[in-house]
Structure formats: structure tokens, C-alpha cells
Structure 1
Amino acid sequence: MAYRPWLEQAGFRVTVSALFQDDELRARYANGRSSARSIMRVYQRRLRALMELGQIQLVWVEKELFPFLPGVLERWLTWAGVPYVVDYDDATFHRYDAHRSVLVRRLLGRRLVPLMRGAHLVTAGNAYLADYAQRAGAPDVSLVPTVLDVDQYALAAEPDAALLRVGWIGSPSTASYLRLVREPLQRLARERPVQLVVIGAEAIPSMDVPVEHHPWSASTESALLGSVHLGIMPLTDGPWEQGKCGYKLLQYLACGKPVITSPVGVNVEIATPAVGLLASNPDQWLAALRRLGADVLLRRRLGRAGRRRVEAQYSLQLQGPIVAARLAEAAGITPAPWSSPPAEMHL
């Protein structure tokens, strides 16, 4: 969705067909799952959208068409003769090939392979995802790092240093990773005042330190991130985590905040010593929190360097024209200025 203005500038007329509506997502997060009725409604809506493609010249698919249904249905666009691009910023394929159920692994383990093979282009957020797409037989794979609109994130003055405010932003599905920093934060809290600022998830593991909760909103996230001293992204080291693209880190850095993260996957590439610290175990997390918490000049230096890194490598302003040009190529059209009506794109 962030690329939509760039696509329209390139000459595409864009329509959007979300799998879940906002109210369905809220219910899913609140209940931990979707009802059978909601799932049927979701699939019916997706089926109608695919049957009404008409003169659409390109479809950009986020990850998959029909989650947890047989992989043969992922051939739909190939059967319809509609060019399409698939985007991955998570290792969605591990929902199936690493599922706890042997039956799911056997029946659905390779369900995304037909979708990748039939795509004109697969855009992947990191090398791990790109490698999977290449091994699956995708004819063209382009590495497109996760980016953000830097104009939406403002540099803010640091809050009072007496209380160390440690920020974490995410969703209910990723809040469980906070258990990895529970012990380090508890130990740090015995040495100095500390507060964990959580944005986007109400239910988190018991932390035994003061926690400040905020719902996520696009209109408030920049200001909330500006109210912390540093941002954290703890992760376990598993196949799913290898597919993550470091979006939290980029958000912190865009606001000029230094980061501490687990050395997993692409996080190592983002959180270099110039912008943050890596921590693999509780002792390293405590040492990193102590170091950044005690040194305001270090926080400022790393945070400013992080903002420059985002602007130079991970900004929507940088990648927008590149992605729009690649999608135009996949659609077999020439980007604007146009001598003919705009191309139709379906997201």
C-alpha cells in the first residue's frame, strides 16, 4: 500500500482487494483466531475478486491467494492468463512446511511453489526469502528491502534521562518475543528506573517492570517512538525469524533512536555497530541496555547515524521508483509519461 502513490505516478490505475477487512483483523487479534463464518466470508470475497479481474494488466499478490487451501488454487492467475507479481516480507511458506502437524506438512508443505513458479516476478524482503523463491523455481526474483516513508517519522528530542524508556513496537502475534528481555529488564530495574513502552500489543508476557501500553495508530506511532530512549527487537533464531525483514528496527532508526536486537537474519545487516548493538543472551542484553542507558552521547550518535542509514538505504522515496519500474516491466508496459490510458493493477 505504501507504494501506491509511486505506482500511480508510473501510470497504473490501482484497485485494492484486501484478504481481511479491518474489523475482521481486529476480531482475529482479539480472539487469537477467526471464526469459520469469517473465514468463509474471506475466501468468498477473494474468489469474487479473482473472477472480476476483467482487463487488469497486472496483479500484485501479498504472499498468497488462499491461505491453508490446496496449492493448486494458487495457479488461478496462471489459468486466467493474468500477469502477476508476488511479494514476501515474511517466511509464509514455513506456516506449512514447518507446521506442527505432519498432515499439513505433507499436504501443504509446497503449496506456494506453483504461485512462485507462475509469477512474472517475486519481490523478496531479504536474501533468505529470495533464496527460497529461487529454489522454488521463480523465473525472476528481485531483492527489495523493507522500506518506510521517512517523511512520516520525525526526529524528536530525548525524554528525561532519569527514567529509561525502552520502546517496542509490534503486533499481538509478535509480543511473545518480549519474554527474551524479561530477565535483563528486571535486573536493570534493580539498578535504575526503567519503563517498557509497548506499542501495538496489549497482552504481553509478564515483565515485572513498569509497562506503558499504547494501541498502534499510523497517526501516533512516530510521536510514541520519539518518546523513548532506544528501541528493541528481541527474536529467537528459527526459520520463521530468518524471514523477518527488520521493520521495527527501521522505525526506531527513522526516529533517531539507537537499537538493540538479537543477531538473527537481516537484523545483523541493519543493526551494525554504527547504529546499534546486538545481544544474544540475557547477559548481553543487560550489558547493551546498561551501555545505552548510561551514555546519552552514544545514544545520540547512533540514533542520528541510524536516521541517515534509513534515508540512504531503506526509504520509500528511494525504492518507490525502482519498484514501480519493475512492476511496469512485469506488466509489459512502459512507465509514464503515457501515450495511452493507464494500466490497470490489482493489489
Structure 2
Amino acid sequence: MSGKILFIYQDERLPSSRIRVFNLLAELRQQGFEPSAVRYPKTIADKIKTFRQMRHFDIVYLQKKLPTRLEAKFFRRYARRLVFDFDDAIYYRDDRHKQTYSRARSLKFQYLVRIADLVVAGNQILADYAAQFNPRVTVIPSAVETRNIARKCYQSCQEKESTAQAKVIIGWVGGRGNLHHLAMLSSVFQTLSKLYEIQVNVVCDAGVEIPGVKVRHIPWRLETQDQEIAQFDIGVMPLPDNKWTEGKCGYKALQYMAAAVPAVCSDVGTNRYLVEHGREGFVVSSMDEFYQALNTLITDAELRKKMGLNARRKVEEHFSIPVVGKKLADKLSTLLLA
């Protein structure tokens, strides 16, 4: 089905805008849609221009931004069909704040969800929260690129163990705002460093130091992140268990899995549904379990390979851009027919 869609995103530099808008545009075009994308306007003049522009589209698709109530009313007035997409617990502040509850955020979120024709959530936990205010909610996971990207190159385990390259690389990718999550593993890395030759690769816009641990800081770049992840032997995603992290959509884990790298993740939010414990990686509930999982993978190259290849197959089948793009297209087609 054809239809004109106006995507309104926060900032092309933000991961959510890239992953949940720009990465899906080509797939939507293949499905017969005519998508356009504009940045959320800042000035009053640009906002008025955008509101008027909405009348020429079949669907207005607002990604993650929480407008004021007045602006939300204009969205509802000018959009023929309004879709709201979110992939974080944006009704809370992030966990760098001492107090995550925000009345202003909560009220903005509830109002926008109530007036939307369709709410698209990044995982079931977020969907269940939104469904309190609107039954028209669907889950569309964040899609990861699987085509023409670097993947872990698994030589035979015997060959690797017979070479000088016995070092095991444990990797983490993310923004500086989440480095406090990685820091949770400092003592685990320190203990493992006394037993094995490991290196922690941190692909990020900022570096970190962990005393007694060999850490390599690799500046994050969109053009090279896939190659850097493919150098990992193990990918980690530690998270504290709180209201903010409950809403995480596990994109780090998906990136590791797409590169055929086994993931070790905290059992928080949706991670247990992304990574099948013992098959594609490990999902753990404590630092002791993190240590045990990493110890197991460090000492068993064949297990890393088996889990990594299992993880890659899962991502191709359920979380690749073509698969997720088709799923979104089907939901939007249904909305147009309603």
C-alpha cells in the first residue's frame, strides 16, 4: 500500500533518530510508501510551517520527542493519522539523575499517547506502560544492520590457541552518558586481568580508565563501529536495575549479535528476550554471575564461536532492517485502512 509519511525526529546525531527513522526509510520505500523526514522544529515560525505541512501527509510519525501539550494539540489537529514512536522510558529522567520520576515528563507522555492513532514501542515493557493510556499499541523492535557489515572471523580454535594471539578482547560500545554502566564491571575486569590476558575495548566518544586493566579507547564513529565490534571476542551490556533501564531495548546486545559476537548482559528489561541464555550468550543477575559468564567464555573459544553464530542467525531472522522494516510497513498499512 502506498502512503505519504512525514517522520519528525529529534536529531540526526541521536541513535534513536538514526536507528528508528533513517535506517528504515529505504525499506519503507520498497514497501510502496513515500517517506520524508524532518528535524523537530525549534522556532515558532518553523513549527507553524511544519504543522501546516502535516496536512499533506497520510501519516505523521513523531519519534521520541515529547512536545508541550499545546504543540501536541496542533499535532492532533493537523495530522490525519498520528503515530508516536519511543524506545526508552522517556516518561522518566535517565538514571544519571538522583530522582528519575518527572511529573512534567509523565504528563506530556500520557497526553501524547492518549491522542495518538498508533503508539509504536521498542519493546513489550514500554508497550505495556503505554497501553495504560491507549490500547492502540504495537511493538516494533529496534533494527540492526546485518547486510555487508564486518563479522567476527572465527578461525579454528586450535589454530588460535596455538598462536601468540591468546588475548581475549571484551568489548563495550555506547555513548559517554552510559559509561557509568560499564564502570559496574570494574572489579570483575580487575579480577579477570589477574588470571587471563584480556583487553577491554571501549568504543565510545569518551574514554575510561580501570586500574589494573588493559583498556583500549576507540573513538566511536558510525563508519567504523561495525568493524570495531567485530574485533570483540565477547560483548558486554551491564545495567543497574531501575525504572530507566527497564525500558532499554537492548541495542548493544543486538549489535554484538549482528557481528556474531556472544553477549553477556544484565537481566534487566528486555535483555532476556533478546539473548537466549546459554545459547547466544549469557543473561546474568549479579556481578558474580557476570564473572562466571565471562570466565566461561574466556576459557572456551569453541563456545564463543557457537554462541556467536547462533546470535547472528537470530538477528538475521528477527531484528534485521528488512524484517523490522516490513513489520513496520504492515502496521502502517493497517493504520491507513482503518
Q: Same fold (TM over 0.5)?
A: yes
**Aligned to 1:61, what secondary structure does the other structure show?**
strand
| 1:164 lines up with 2:160 in the alignment | no
Which residue of the partner structure matches residue 63 of structure 1? 64
**Aligned to 1:135, what secondary structure does the other structure show?**
coil
Which residue of the partner structure matches residue 325 of structure 2? 320
Q: What is the root-mean-square deviation of aligned Cα atoms in Å? A: 2.6
> Which AA in structure 1 matches 2:147?
D
Which residue of the partner structure matches residue 243 of structure 2? 239
Which residue of the partner structure matches residue 147 of structure 1? 143
Higher RCO, 1 vs 2 (CA within 8 Å, ≥6 residues apart)? 1
- CA deviation after TM superposition for structure 1 residue 116, in Å: 0.9
Which residue of the partner structure matches residue 28 of structure 1? none
**Aligned to 1:219, what secondary structure does the other structure show?**
coil
Which residue of the partner structure matches residue 110 of structure 1? 107
* Contact map agreement 1:64 1:112 (CA 8 A) in 2: no
Which residue of the partner structure matches residue 87 of structure 1? 85
Residues 53-84 of structure 1 deviation map (CA, whole Å, 9 limit, x = unaligned): 34122111112243xxx434322211224312
- CA deviation after TM superposition for structure 1 residue 265, in Å: 1.2
243-252 or 80-89: bigger deviation = 80-89
- CA deviation after TM superposition for structure 1 residue 310, in Å: 0.8
- CA deviation after TM superposition for structure 1 residue 167, in Å: 0.8
Which residue of the partner structure matches residue 7 of structure 2? none
Q: CA 1:175–1:256 in 2, change beyond 3 Å: closer, same or farther?
A: same
* Contact map agreement 2:27 2:326 (CA 8 A) in 1: yes
Which residue of the partner structure matches residue 122 of structure 2? 125
**Aligned to 2:185, what secondary structure does the other structure show?**
helix
CA distance in 1, matches of 2:247, 2:104: 22
**5 Å matches for 1:220-235?**
220-235=224-239
**Aligned to 2:54, what secondary structure does the other structure show?**
coil
CA distance in 1, matches of 2:77, 2:211: 51
Identity %: 28
| 1:299 lines up with 2:296 in the alignment | no
Q: CA 1:115–1:45 in 2, change beyond 3 Å: closer, same or farther?
A: same
CA distance in 1, matches of 2:296, 2:46: 51
Which residue of the partner structure matches residue 275 of structure 1? 280
Residues 280-336 of structure 1 deviation map (CA, whole Å, 9 limit, x = unaligned): 222222221111001010000000110111112212221222211212332449xxx
Residues 162-192 of structure 1 deviation map (CA, whole Å, 9 limit, x = unaligned): 2111110111111210111100001111112
Which residue of the partner structure matches residue 262 of structure 2? 258
CA distance in 2, matches of 1:92, 1:233: 20
Unaligned runs of 5+ residues in structure 1 are 21-40, 334-347
> Which AA in structure 1 matches 2:146?
V
CA distance in 2, matches of 1:297, 1:170: 27
CA distance in 1, matches of 2:84, 2:191: 45
Aligned length: 307
> Which AA in structure 2 matches 1:75?
K
